[in-house]
Amino acid sequence: MDDPVQRPMRDNNPGFPTPEEAALAGYSPVARARVLRVERLNDSFVHVIIDTEPSHTMRVYCERFDGYWYDMGDAAE
């Protein structure tokens, strides 16, 4: 089920195979977003720390549900 059209939706967000992909999906290519690190809280919740150009660090909250990861919101670091 790698086709994004067929991925399950949650809160109008498509699911992704990894939390990094879920976190980066919300950024346009112009932002040059990149993952700095992933902080695992448990098997279902992680914080993905992202930096953009010019340098602006964000913490993206990702949740795993039915085998897919979802961006549940972000906050400035």
Quick count: other Cβ atoms within 10 Å of Cβ 35? 16
Number of domains in the chain: 1
Q: What is the pTM of this model?
A: 0.83
DSSP code per residue over 40-58: ESSSSEEEEEEEETTTEEE
CATH number of the domain bearing residue 50:
3.10.450
Residue-range definition of the domain harbouring residue 10: 4-76
* Interval 7-58: pLDDT, tens: 667 777 779 999 999 999 989 999 999 999 999 999 999 999 999 998 899 9
